């Protein structure tokens, strides 16, 4: 069986992507969590991660000894391993577009990712108001998301970005968590997409687990005092 190594569900946006993809696609896998304690060289997280992955990061997919790391590589491997699941759109043009927006997410939106670290459990709306007021680069990232998502939803006329659930929706799921936690202002049609995504069984399962985790990691909580 596939084995997926992940970090804390409340915080680990990169881990969320392949986990949601596997879960929503109905691909059986074993979850192995490596708790975040610190990212320092001597931390327990780094010690455990170094034993499974030369990049010393999560997520990592282990398929009977074949180790695949980095979310894009994992997604591509799963699409090849399970072609019947149609994880990418079947149309060649749509598939190229989906790969492009996933790559943009993978390498871009640095301001949003830096200012609004993922924290599913917390209400960070107060911090979100200040971030929105003071960080034009975050506003620019959100405007790009709105433009991208509107174009895709209109073009493919479905509930998800490419009509049916795909790797693209899994890639943007952590962004939806950020927009919700920080209450960043988005129009009603984008809010509706976020809510549809959050009700998917695979996404809801991750959210439920994150809310049940109750594991306060101080260095992941720049905007909150310890409860």
**96 shares its domain with 12:** no
Output the pLDDT for position 28: 98
Q: Give the domain-ending residue among 27, 60, 85.
A: 85
> CA dihedral defined by 211, 212, 215, 216, rounded to 10 degrees?
30
**101 shares its domain with 184:** yes
**32 shares its domain with 139:** no
H-type helices in the chain, by residue range? 13-25, 44-50, 71-81, 92-107, 110-115, 125-134, 136-156, 167-181, 188-199, 201-213
pLDDT digit string, tens, across residues 181-190: 999 999 999 9
Contacts of 72 (CB under 8 A, 6+ apart): 102, 103, 106
The two structure tokens encoding residue 165: 């659930």
Task: Give CA–CA dist 131/143, Å, rounded.
Answer: 14
**pLDDT mean across residues, the chain:** 95
Taking 80 as the threshold, does the pLDDT of residue 198 lie above it? Answer: yes
Taking 80 as the threshold, does the pLDDT of residue 224 lie above it? Answer: no
pLDDT digit string, tens, across residues 21-63: 999 999 999 999 999 877 778 888 888 888 898 888 899 999 9
**69 shares its domain with 43:** yes
In a domain, 224, yes or no: no
**77 shares its domain with 97:** no
- Among the residue ranges 16-20, 37-41, 212-216, the one predicted with the least confidence is 37-41
**151 shares its domain with 59:** no
Sign of CA dihedral 226, 16, 162, 100: positive
Output the pLDDT for position 226: 55
**42 shares its domain with 68:** yes
In a domain, 163, yes or no: yes
Q: Give the domain-ending residue among 23, 52, 85.
A: 85
In a domain, 225, yes or no: no
Task: Give CA–CA dist 187/203, Å, rounded.
Answer: 22
Number of domains in the chain: 2
In a domain, 226, yes or no: no
In a domain, 218, yes or no: no
pLDDT digit string, tens, across residues 81-112: 999 999 999 999 999 999 999 999 999 999 99
**74 shares its domain with 107:** no
Give pTM, 2 decimals.
Answer: 0.94
150 lies in which domain range? Answer: 92-210
pLDDT digit string, tens, across residues 126-164: 999 999 999 999 999 999 999 999 999 999 998 999 999
In a domain, 59, yes or no: yes
**111 shares its domain with 76:** no
What's 175's domain CATH number?
Answer: 1.20.1050.10
Taking 90 as the threshold, does the pLDDT of residue 222 lie above it? Answer: no
In a domain, 222, yes or no: no
Terminal-to-terminal C-alpha distance of the chain: 38
């Amino acid at each position: 069986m596939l084995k997926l190594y992940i970090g804390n569900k409340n915080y680990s946006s990169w881990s969320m992507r392949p986990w949601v993809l596997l879960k929503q696609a109905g691909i059986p896998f074993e979850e192995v969590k490596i708790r975040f304690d610190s990212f320092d060289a001597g931390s327990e997280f780094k010690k455990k991660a170094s034993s499974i992955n030369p990049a010393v990061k999560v997520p990592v997919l282990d398929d009977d000894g074949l180790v695949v790391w980095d979310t894009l590589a994992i997604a591509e491997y799963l699409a090849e391993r399970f072609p019947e699941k149609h994880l990418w759109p079947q149309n060649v043009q749509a598939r190229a577009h989906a790969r492009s927006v996933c790559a943009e997410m993978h390498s871009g939106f640095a301001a949003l990712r830096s200012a609004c670290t993922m924290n599913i459990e917390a209400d960070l709306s107060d911090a979100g108001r200040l971030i929105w007021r003071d960080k034009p680069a975050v506003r620019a990232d959100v405007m790009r998301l709105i433009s991208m998502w509107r174009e895709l939803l209109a073009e493919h006329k479905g509930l998800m970005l490419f009509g049916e659930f795909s790797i693209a929706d899994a890639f943007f799921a952590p962004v939806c968590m950020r927009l919700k936690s920080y209450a960043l202002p988005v129009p009603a049609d984008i809010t509706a997409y976020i809510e549809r995504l959050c009700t998917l069984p695979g996404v809801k399962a991750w959210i439920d687990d994150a809310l049940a985790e109750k594991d306060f990691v101080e260095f992941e909580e720049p905007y909150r005092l310890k409860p």
